[in-house]
């Protein structure tokens, strides 16, 4: 199936210059799709008015000017707590500020917003009747027209699986790809050859010839400041970050046998019954990398082209448990509670890989067991499906490209 997301436990493909580490209600569409939403929660008692906590700039605003004021307000009662975080160049920091004496307004100590950053606001207030409410919002600030930035995967200081690919996505097309490539350095300890590959003019990925060794520390140095990526357009970032490679886990999905073999450090630890894509909606073959993980997600067929004659989705499941994104086009590996007859016997999905689960999800089911033992960056390989091999630029699918072809994708070479 293809879905929209709900409660996110971990988000793996973070755009490091833009994405916050805070938990939020994400949108993602699945067995093939995407989307995002915010979350306003009422904490006990009758629900207060939806606008009881007012945040400016608006939730989801993009390209906010740095001179616009950041404010959190309530019409009555008082602000109990306000936490504002900023992510810029893969680094998260808390924005200092204070609540006014009357308790109605929060303002930051900083006069101006930062360029090319993502802000998140989490506020809790108590109204005049003693009812508590909370609000979560986010917005991004402007990238100057004469500047470009790279949004980097994975997160700084994260621990990832051995299949992680370093991916830089630029906010605008890069014309001098060689100059930009020379300004990015990816190194590993213990040392291993890491090579770049361009997908078009907006994405630059790095990987070694084979999967990373467990325990490897990978460092990404961005020296993009004042590098001319296009005529008159210069880089903004000057920053180094790193991540660590965790244990090795590779899972082999056999669509014909309806099984998934899970291997840790080369040792078979479990064989799990699965259901894959039905004959008319088959699952991609090839090696895919887990890029996002959601404890619960919504999956709506309309978001990925599976529509009925009336335009509605062929399916719309609001509470798909234990969902892990494998491709940008919406292939997920997820828990399935609505087709208990299928596991190990028949393929019935719209392209995803399903594992047995229960409504609401359970750690004791195969889906819950696998989810709790997985990392962003783990590899899931599908074989014996009646479909083509997943494209190398669909998610982190670069492992499906031979090494010589990968190396040939460098603009410097």
In order, the DSSP letters of 293-316 are EEEEEEEEGGGGT-B-TTS-BS-E
pTM above 0.85, yes or no: no
Question: Going by C-beta distance under 8 Å and a sequence separation of 6 or more, which residues neighbour residue 280?
Answer: none
Average pLDDT over residues 20-39: 36
Higher pLDDT, 11 or 56: 56
Question: Going by C-beta distance under 8 Å and a sequence separation of 6 or more, which residues neighbour residue 251?
Answer: 260, 261, 262, 263, 370, 378, 379, 380, 381
Average pLDDT over residues 373-387: 98
Cα angle, residue 11 at apex, residues 9 and 16 outer, rounded to 5°: 145
Q: What pLDDT, on a 0 to 100 scale, did the predictor assign at position 146?
A: 85
Q: What pLDDT, on a 0 to 100 scale, did the predictor assign at position 324?
A: 97
Per-residue pLDDT at 142 exceeds 90 = no
Q: Is 322 a catalytic residue?
A: no
CA atoms within 13 A on the CB side of 99: 16
Catalytic residue among 3, 136, 197, 334: 334
Give the domains, in start order, of the chain with CATH numbers. Answer: 4-16+27-33+248-399 (2.40.440.10), 40-141 (2.60.40.3780), 147-247 (2.60.40.3710)
Predicted confidence band of residue 384 (pLDDT cuts 50, 70, 90): very high
Average pLDDT over residues 36-43: 28
Catalytic residue among 136, 197, 258, 352: 352
Q: Is 334 a catalytic residue?
A: yes
Per-residue pLDDT at 256 exceeds 80 = yes
Distance from C-alpha of 277 to C-alpha of 346, rounded to nearest angstrom: 9
Q: Which of 242, 72, 69 is nearest to 164 (CA)?
A: 242
Q: What pLDDT, on a 0 to 100 scale, did the predictor assign at position 308?
A: 64
Question: Going by C-beta distance under 8 Å and a sequence separation of 6 or more, which residues neighbour residue 37?
Answer: 25, 26, 27
- Residue pair 146/231 in contact (Cβ under 8 Å)? The answer is no
Predicted confidence band of residue 204 (pLDDT cuts 50, 70, 90): very high
Q: Which of 219, 224, 240 is nearest to 91 (CA)?
A: 240
Find residue 220's DSSP bridge partners: 186, 241
Distance from C-alpha of 62 to C-alpha of 294, rounded to nearest angstrom: 24
């Amino acid at each position: 199936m293809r879905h929209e997301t709900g409660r996110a436990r971990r988000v793996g493909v973070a755009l490091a210059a833009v994405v916050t580490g805070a938990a939020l209600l994400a949108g993602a569409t699945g067995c093939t799709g995407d989307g995002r939403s915010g979350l306003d929660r009422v904490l006990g008692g009758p629900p207060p008015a939806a606008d009881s906590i007012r945040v400016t700039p608006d939730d989801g605003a993009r390209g906010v000017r740095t001179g616009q004021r950041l404010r959190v307000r309530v019409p009555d009662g008082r602000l109990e707590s306000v936490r504002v975080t900023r992510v810029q160049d893969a680094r998260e920091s808390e924005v200092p500020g204070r609540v006014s004496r009357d308790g109605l307004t929060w303002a930051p100590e900083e006069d101006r917003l930062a360029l090319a950053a993502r802000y998140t606001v989490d506020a809790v207030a108590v109204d005049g009747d003693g009812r508590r409410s909370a609000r979560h919002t986010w917005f991004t600030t402007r990238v100057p027209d004469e500047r470009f930035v790279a949004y980097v995967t994975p997160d700084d200081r994260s621990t990832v699986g051995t299949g992680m690919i370093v991916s830089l996505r630029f906010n605008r097309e890069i014309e001098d790809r060689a100059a930009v490539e020379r300004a990015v350095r990816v190194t590993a300890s213990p040392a291993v050859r890491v090579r770049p590959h361009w997908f078009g003019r907006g994405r630059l990925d790095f990987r070694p010839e084979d999967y990373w060794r467990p325990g490897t520390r990978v460092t990404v140095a961005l020296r993009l400041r004042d590098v001319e990526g296009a005529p008159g357009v210069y880089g903004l970032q000057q920053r180094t970050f790193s991540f660590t490679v965790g244990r090795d886990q590779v899972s082999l999905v056999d669509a014909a046998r309806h099984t998934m073999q899970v291997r840790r450090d080369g040792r078979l630890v479990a064989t799990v019954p699965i259901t894959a894509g039905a004959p008319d909606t088959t699952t991609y073959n090839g090696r895919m990398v887990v890029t996002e993980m959601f404890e619960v997600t919504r999956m709506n067929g309309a978001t990925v082209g599976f529509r009925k004659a009336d335009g509605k989705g062929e399916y719309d499941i609001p509470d798909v448990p234990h969902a892990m994104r494998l491709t940008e086009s919406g292939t997920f590996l997820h828990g399935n509670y609505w087709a208990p007859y299928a596991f190990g016997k028949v393929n019935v999905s719209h392209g995803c890989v399903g594992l047995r689960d229960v409504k609401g999800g359970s750690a004791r089911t195969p889906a819950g067991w696998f989810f709790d033992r997985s990392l962003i960056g783990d590899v899931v390989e599908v074989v014996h499906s009646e479909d083509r091999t997943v494209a190398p630029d669909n998610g982190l699918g670069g492992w499906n490209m031979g090494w010589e072809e990968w190396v040939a994708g460098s603009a410097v070479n």
